[in-house]
Structure 1
Amino acid sequence: MIRLLLFAFIAVAHQRLSNGQQMNAAVDGMCGAEELCVTDKLCTESDDSGRDAIGPRLGNNCGHGFVCCDREQLESWNATLAMEASGSQRSLSATQTVTTMKTPTITTPATSVTTEEPSGYESCGFNMECVPRKICRENLIVDDGRFILNPRIGDTPCVGALHRCCAIDMKISANESSYVDKLASFKYQGCGWSNPNGLIPDQDNYEYAKDVALFAEFPWMVAVFSGRNQFLCGGTLIHPQLVLTSAHNIQNHTINTLVVRLGEWDLNSLDEPHEHQARRIKQIIRHEDFDPRAFFNDIALLVLSEPVPIQPHIQPLCLPPTETPALLRELQDAQCFATGWGRRLPGSSRNEHLLKRIDLPFVSRAECQAMLRITILGRRFRLRPSFLCAGGMEGKDTCKGDGGSPLFCTMPNETNRYRLVGIVSWGIDCAKQDVPAVYANVPFLRNWIDNKIKTLGLQLEGP
């Protein structure tokens, strides 16, 4: 009876392996060269890696209930079964004659030899690759979670924010992208218009973090880099050849150590639908009365080496009128945002690579001064006219790395149109309740901006 059970067990095990091999022949192309596509259960049963300590040698999914499993692991398991079967038969032959069982072996499916260069893109299923969104024909993007290879990345099969799972035969070259046509058909409407849905197609189902701006949502955002290509601070495009930023961020730099990127979104990628434009700096104009200790008049104007072409993802932001009581009342009712690549949390040790978007309430001067007086600044602190405030909400704030970036607010009776109000300057910690952040006051400094632009022989457009 025991001998019959042993043979039954071996036969079932061999049948499982044989079934796995049959399935493997159909979908093996989805696995690596040293893997075979077998049932999840078979791969787990054959595991010899000590998975309780270091994890099983499981690879990618290659179909419902199937995984890419290490070939050596399966061959070792198969050989062990064969030895066990052979040993059992030898022990039985001394007492009786038995029918010899033929042990199946794992065979490698025939594969065609190709000289095609590897694409360098991650696989996301059979004949599917994760590619930049702009080089896949729009009607065959796979965003519904099929062909997921690595379940640790969530419901989307591609890790990159602008990568999508695309059928290999639907890949196109960058100059064939539909986005190229969109550039040619773009018509500029004037300063301050946002792209509220970004410039990614409506059917894009990628789940961005709530505080991440969409690509080109705010096309006036500028990234300022040092000459060593290190991110330095943010800035705002106000004219095809002019960028406003904070004086304190660039006080130790010259025109030879600064480069700006316009139309930037992901600092770690070149996969955006429209490429960013880089420009050297022709002239730096800092406010003459900038105080590097108290940060009064924290504003600077960067003159680009040559104008940047206005495109869907590169457009200037409108400037506000000079400061008046009427303007301050408008700002109290406006919706305001700050954007930047600075740190998301006070304790973070690194900047963000995707552009952040933070909605913040405008805070009046009197209210801001009162709240700042109960901080380390003390009860005699006076908020100077070249500053204004926004924020004071728990968990929402600009932070280290956001210097020079814009604070912009909606215009009265306009939808999706904004004007520059502040430039990120300083704060007491980050994201604390009832502790607003402090910005350079652009309406107060508007006359200085106009005078400098006039001396350059340039002219700003009105809203």
Structure 2
Amino acid sequence: MDPMDGGMRYTPGSSDKDWDTAVTFLPASDNKKLEKKRGPGKVGIVVGLVILAAVLALIIGLLVWHFHFRKDLKLQKIYTGSLRITNQVFVDAYENPDSTEFKDLANQVMDQLKSMYSESPEMSKYYITSRVQAFSEGSVIAYYESEFAVPVGKDAAVDRAVSSLSEMYSNKIRRVQQGPLVFDHVVSSALDTRLFSKARTSTRFAQHARSSAEEIVKSPGFPDQPYTPNSFVQWQLRGDPGHVLKLSFDTFNLEKNCSNDFVRVYDSLVAMDKYLMAEKCGFYSPSNPLTFISSRNVMLVTFVTNEEENFPGFRARVTQISRESPEIACGGKLSGSSGIFTSPNFPSYYPASTTCQWDIEVPDGKFIKLKFPKFMVSTGSPNCPEDNVQIVGKSTLCGQQPANTMVPVNSNKVTVVFKSDSSQVDRGFSATYEVFEPSDPCPDQFQCDNKRCVSLSVRCDGWNDCGDSTDEKNCKCDASMIQCRNGFCKPMFWRCDSVNDCGDDTDELNCGCKIGEFKCKNDQCVSEKLKCDGNPDCKDGSDEEGCTRGDICQASTFACSNGKCITKLKPMCDGQDDCGDNSDESNCDCGKKAYSKSRIVGGQEADVGEFPWQVSLHVKNTAHVCGASVISDRWLVTAAHCVQDDAKIKYAQPGTWEAYLGLHRQKEKQLATKRYLKQIIPHPYYNAYTYDNDIALMELDLPVTFSATIQTICLPAATDVFPAGETVTISGWGATREGGAGAPVLQKANVRVINGTVCNELMGGQITSRMTCAGILTGGVDACQGDSGGPMSLFTNDRMFLAGVVSWGDGCARRNKPGIYTNVPKFRAWIKEKTGV
């Protein structure tokens, strides 16, 4: 609430009758006293001079303070660092900060640091104190914090001086009162100011992982309550000598903004940016977990929160791994005609300070083709000075490369070297190698300019199979193809569909409408049956003009509850009250993925909670049969063809079904919420032969409680349309290939809405206005058996809307055979009538 609304306020133009009767105005005894005086008088002049003098004194004081005294203002600067003591041997007592051995060596290190700082004018004047945080093996590494009080404007000079310590004190001997310390490898840098705010509660833990057990690291209060505000927590993690540490987050759910709440993981025992492996916030799914491996037997985890927006938090397991373990081994000699190699710990984060070398040799007379299906290697600049993959004699790769990046090597030998520096790790890469004939790099295939090999059958078929369009250049088209003026060939069924497929409009020239078609004002042709059907099939909406609908809004507008019609495209849930009564912003608590990501062929596994409205429908005591979508705490939307009886099973009976909400893996039904059905309502005009009106509603026997993995999807408005080319998402547990078995884990894929005229021609005239076509016409991505009833969702206004219901198709993922989906906006009124949603 606005603070001004919290108390009494004046309302202009009010006529409060109590005011007239309750207030008495006293008459003035002398009217002259009410007249305005002509001058300020002597007293006024004196008061004015005093005020002027005070203002001038204040200004002068501020200027003097700014230019003279302000130089005394000091900033608290904390620098963290480490140094290696080469003439000491690590003992177990150094792990305990309360031990005599720890304190004695810590005092020597602090004296040493004071001596080091005294030799630099930029540091000696401002140095206050140092604190040793920990020791570790190697011979002995000391981790410390040093505090300085630095005048404003001098902090940059001190930063440079501290950073130069590694050069000043490399392999030098310094003697202190307690005895000589021989040290080298000094590293120091300024501590992130977010890590030492006095407003935060600070907590430290020290844990040592042993071979026989795992240590647990979790945010304060987890899992019983959200993490605490304004807190700073550190975990110093150790392993035995000869081991490294593995940190695996099985739950990670923080605020999305890393400026507020975040976790930092260091390859060190003190928070130095030089050893910062990663800073993370938001949500990471257990199916795609965060896993880090240290380069040594130490690791530091820090957790910082601000005063608001507290989330469930995190839990992680800490284990130690032998340096000889195959889990982190990399490099070696590879031979044979093909093979695979990956960065350490792939697909999780590779360790810092790592070097791997693979020497690949194939039979004499052959050349090598390297391919990187996935490539994510951290980099700070284009020339790859930090982490990189070097193909010796060819090229150096870093950053995020396109899938299946290919590098041909005109030799039967090649060396590949992967290097990571001490900070900022990433998920790494997977790579394959195979041989090819020097004279024939693509046997029985077409070689693209980008060196990719594609089937000869896709040459000049209208599809960009190469990725650089070289398979479609310089083509001579046959009679079944459109010959574009720019040399491309395109399928004939794309002619005159109002989409510039050629790129030079050749396919849209000299177009006239066929018998039974309506010509739009923009010269687009649509079926006469679509005129005045309440849906703007013409892109300019001209097929809906002149249609008698009384006071009902035109189909190209949104009908508000107050009767107002909105012409704005997709006004629902966009955060703006376009109607004036907020009806376009009502019922918007939906379509939000709880977390930071039909018949699905060619897709990939979804993250846990990525589609919290997805439902798995099972016939009781059997496996998954169909999908559905949650639209309220009691109602689901599915396909009508899923609930049609057959000779063996009464699919139309509610008692046949059980619904699993919040399910991710089919084998983990015990983790999901199970509900039985109260009633099933298939659309009364469903046609089992044509699949027209293929939609049904299911009412649950008991309402569900919404959670991170169970949420509603937004329902579109009756007037919403999905233009050709719009990206939509399909999801489900159906078969991952035609004729194959169902997927054990929820799958997802992005497809595009296909032009209705093109789709109708491809599908033999079977498409009605109550159907939407979507897919990838090149094939390879589609819905399949078992996904029926599931959602085709559209992301708009920061929410997912139920654009369609998986209905039918001609096989799965076939070329030029899109998937067919029930057009949900056509049934919005029916859903409202039956469910009230």
Category of TM-score, reference length = shorter chain: 0.5 to 0.7
1:440 to 814, 818, 822: 822
- State the partner residue of 1:263: 662
More strand by share: 2
Once residues 194 and 134 of structure 1 are traced to their aligned partners in structure 2, the CA distance between those partners, rounded to angstroms, is 16
Q: Contact between 1:145 and 1:155, CA under 8 Å: does it hold in 2?
A: no
Return closer, same or farther for 1:303/1:143 CA change in 2, 3 Å cut-off: farther
* Matched residue SS, 1:396: coil
Once residues 143 and 276 of structure 1 are traced to their aligned partners in structure 2, the CA distance between those partners, rounded to angstroms, is 33
Gaps (5+ residues) in structure 1?
Answer: 1-124, 162-187, 199-208, 374-380, 454-458
Q: CA deviation at 1:449?
A: 1.3
Q: Contact between 1:145 and 1:157, CA under 8 Å: does it hold in 2?
A: no
1:429 to 811, 832, 836: 811
Please tell me the residue identity of whatever aligns with 2:213. N
- State the partner residue of 1:60: none
Q: Contact between 1:224 and 1:258, CA under 8 Å: does it hold in 2?
A: yes
Q: CA deviation at 1:333?
A: 5.8
- State the partner residue of 1:290: 686
Equivalent residues in 2 for 1:25-64, closer than 5 Å: none
Once residues 233 and 277 of structure 1 are traced to their aligned partners in structure 2, the CA distance between those partners, rounded to angstroms, is 17
2:727 to 335, 338, 355: 335
Please tell me the residue identity of whatever aligns with 2:763. L
> Identity of aligned pairs, percent?
27
After superposition, the C-alpha distances for 1:233-261 in whole angstroms (9 at most, x for unaligned) are 10000111000001111212211110101
Once residues 270 and 143 of structure 1 are traced to their aligned partners in structure 2, the CA distance between those partners, rounded to angstroms, is 32
Q: CA deviation at 1:148?
A: 5.8
Query: 2:773 matched to 1:383?
Result: no
Q: CA deviation at 1:293?
A: 2.0
- State the partner residue of 1:190: 589
Q: Contact between 1:425 and 1:438, CA under 8 Å: does it hold in 2?
A: yes
- Higher relative contact order (CA closer than 8 Å, sequence separation 6+): 1
Once residues 638 and 774 of structure 2 are traced to their aligned partners in structure 1, the CA distance between those partners, rounded to angstroms, is 17
Q: CA deviation at 1:282?
A: 0.5
Return closer, same or farther for 1:300/1:132 CA change in 2, 3 Å cut-off: farther
Q: CA deviation at 1:405?
A: 0.8
- State the partner residue of 1:451: 833
Q: CA deviation at 1:341?
A: 0.3
Query: 2:759 matched to 1:368?
Result: yes
Q: CA deviation at 1:155?
A: 8.4
Q: CA deviation at 1:385?
A: 2.0
Q: CA deviation at 1:436?
A: 0.8
Please tell me the residue identity of whatever aligns with 1:268. K
Return closer, same or farther for 1:140/1:397 CA change in 2, 3 Å cut-off: same
- State the partner residue of 1:303: 699
2:788 to 388, 398, 403: 403
Q: Contact between 2:250 and 2:316, CA under 8 Å: does it hold in 1?
A: no
Return closer, same or farther for 1:366/1:216 CA change in 2, 3 Å cut-off: same
- State the partner residue of 2:747: 356
Q: Contact between 1:144 and 1:156, CA under 8 Å: does it hold in 2?
A: no
- State the partner residue of 1:314: 710
Once residues 450 and 426 of structure 1 are traced to their aligned partners in structure 2, the CA distance between those partners, rounded to angstroms, is 25
Equivalent residues in 2 for 1:156-305, closer than 5 Å: 190-195=589-594, 197=596, 211-252=604-645, 253=651, 254-269=653-668, 275-305=671-701
After superposition, the C-alpha distances for 1:49-92 in whole angstroms (9 at most, x for unaligned) are xxxxxxxxxxxxxxxxxxxxxxxxxxxxxxxxxxxxxxxxxxxx
Q: Contact between 1:197 and 1:214, CA under 8 Å: does it hold in 2?
A: no
* Matched residue SS, 1:366: helix
Q: CA deviation at 1:134?
A: 5.3
Return closer, same or farther for 1:126/1:351 CA change in 2, 3 Å cut-off: same
Q: CA deviation at 1:265?
A: 0.7
Q: Contact between 2:663 and 2:669, CA under 8 Å: does it hold in 1?
A: no
Once residues 144 and 394 of structure 1 are traced to their aligned partners in structure 2, the CA distance between those partners, rounded to angstroms, is 44
More helix by share: 1
- State the partner residue of 1:140: 317
* Matched residue SS, 1:444: helix
Return closer, same or farther for 1:149/1:283 CA change in 2, 3 Å cut-off: same
Once residues 333 and 227 of structure 1 are traced to their aligned partners in structure 2, the CA distance between those partners, rounded to angstroms, is 39
TM-score, reference length from structure 2 = 0.30
Q: CA deviation at 1:353?
A: 0.9
Q: Contact between 2:617 and 2:658, CA under 8 Å: does it hold in 1?
A: yes
* Matched residue SS, 2:829: helix
Equivalent residues in 2 for 1:8-87, closer than 5 Å: none
1:127 to 199, 213, 216: 213
Once residues 298 and 434 of structure 1 are traced to their aligned partners in structure 2, the CA distance between those partners, rounded to angstroms, is 22
Q: Contact between 1:344 and 1:352, CA under 8 Å: does it hold in 2?
A: yes
Q: Contact between 2:251 and 2:316, CA under 8 Å: does it hold in 1?
A: no
* Matched residue SS, 1:438: strand
Return closer, same or farther for 1:144/1:267 CA change in 2, 3 Å cut-off: farther
Once residues 305 and 270 of structure 1 are traced to their aligned partners in structure 2, the CA distance between those partners, rounded to angstroms, is 18
Q: How many residues align?
A: 277
After superposition, the C-alpha distances for 1:155-178 in whole angstroms (9 at most, x for unaligned) are 89999x9xxxxxxxxxxxxxxxxx
- State the partner residue of 1:78: none
Return closer, same or farther for 1:226/1:210 CA change in 2, 3 Å cut-off: closer
Please tell me the residue identity of whatever aligns with 1:426. W
Q: Contact between 1:425 and 1:439, CA under 8 Å: does it hold in 2?
A: yes
After superposition, the C-alpha distances for 1:100-122 in whole angstroms (9 at most, x for unaligned) are xxxxxxxxxxxxxxxxxxxxxxx
TM-score, reference length from structure 1 = 0.53
Once residues 298 and 357 of structure 1 are traced to their aligned partners in structure 2, the CA distance between those partners, rounded to angstroms, is 22
Please tell me the residue identity of whatever aligns with 1:404. G
Q: CA deviation at 1:321?
A: 1.0
Please tell me the residue identity of whatever aligns with 2:317. L
Q: Contact between 2:615 and 2:627, CA under 8 Å: does it hold in 1?
A: yes
Once residues 336 and 289 of structure 1 are traced to their aligned partners in structure 2, the CA distance between those partners, rounded to angstroms, is 26
Once residues 227 and 372 of structure 1 are traced to their aligned partners in structure 2, the CA distance between those partners, rounded to angstroms, is 35
Q: CA deviation at 1:196?
A: 5.3
Return closer, same or farther for 1:305/1:343 CA change in 2, 3 Å cut-off: same
Once residues 753 and 761 of structure 2 are traced to their aligned partners in structure 1, the CA distance between those partners, rounded to angstroms, is 15
RMSD over equivalenced CA pairs, Å: 3.7
Q: CA deviation at 1:297?
A: 1.0
Q: CA deviation at 1:434?
A: 2.0
Return closer, same or farther for 1:224/1:232 CA change in 2, 3 Å cut-off: same
Q: CA deviation at 1:126?
A: 4.5
Q: CA deviation at 1:384?
A: 1.5
Equivalent residues in 2 for 1:404-419, closer than 5 Å: 404-411=789-796, 414-415=797-798, 417-419=799-801
Once residues 145 and 232 of structure 1 are traced to their aligned partners in structure 2, the CA distance between those partners, rounded to angstroms, is 46
Q: CA deviation at 1:444?
A: 1.2
After superposition, the C-alpha distances for 1:149-198 in whole angstroms (9 at most, x for unaligned) are 8999x989999x9xxxxxxxxxxxxxxxxxxxxxxxxxx97111124536
Once residues 693 and 667 of structure 2 are traced to their aligned partners in structure 1, the CA distance between those partners, rounded to angstroms, is 32
Return closer, same or farther for 1:445/1:433 CA change in 2, 3 Å cut-off: same
Please tell me the residue identity of whatever aligns with 1:395. G
Return closer, same or farther for 1:362/1:264 CA change in 2, 3 Å cut-off: same
Return closer, same or farther for 1:150/1:276 CA change in 2, 3 Å cut-off: farther
After superposition, the C-alpha distances for 1:373-419 in whole angstroms (9 at most, x for unaligned) are 3xxxxxxx2412221110034210001111111101122xx23x111
Q: Contact between 2:588 and 2:714, CA under 8 Å: does it hold in 1?
A: no
